[in-house]
Structure 1
């Protein structure tokens, strides 16, 4: 991970994207787990490079929601200027507040658009290996913890089988092997 952090700036400059710490962490973990034909840190570096390239290509076209937000900002700005010309300062103040919130929202979305997080790394791993890499969300973790009780509600008289099945599913989802 330290090697990847050291190389981060070089790849950020090369691909003109921002690589987050979570992306570096995900690259190390997912490459170790799913890519077997190469060694660390080489395979993690390749993942970071591929993710940076994908982000750069994706950035060539602006997403419709960003274009829409930019148009809103321009419209509100023009309305504010018109209110100032008409000396309707209350309306201009309200427009200024709206404009400020829209600009903040636009800035946040643009930052997210330029950032490469763990989701991009997972996407690269998935396309490279053909294995769907689904994160264990907290909701999914909760389901796994309560799975045995839920199965007992529906399957009667098969306690041992339900326990074995639950253990096996949990082990598989966590990535452990016998």
Structure 2
């Protein structure tokens, strides 16, 4: 479903297929402690070579779409459609930005709009879902602004530094999506 890896151009960001040239940005992304907390990413210790291998293989994978978020010619994060369920025409969405230099500039909002618009225009997907931790108010606000609706809560879904946090389940459905002009 995601065999074609597009380049999507907005006013603030360009989304393009990730590749080995994005390695430095990916290293910054996975080493960012606040980003790890916001996304609930416990995995650490990725080697540069493992990360290079990961990004070098994304173009050949047809059941997911991995796009670099680029602003002013600089990698500022990634947006991914994954966990494709072709039987139910749904997938998961995740986004990660590289910390304070990328926050509060509208990059995430535009990247999400471009990605969701592309998915609904170029595939038969009906539902794009995600989970966001209840302490990540900034992300929840952006997801709602883009058109995602809160569906429910997964209680105590994340254990972080000895404390439990809920995950809020959100989605946007094709019939509810307002296409970009």
Work out whether the TM-score is over 0.5.
no
Q: Which has the higher contact order (CA 8 A, sep 6+)?
A: 1
TM range (shorter): under 0.3
Q: Which has the higher strand share?
A: 2
- Structure that is richer in helix per residue: 1
The structure with the largest alpha-carbon Rg is: 1
**Please, what TM-score do these two structures have when normalized by structure 1?**
0.23
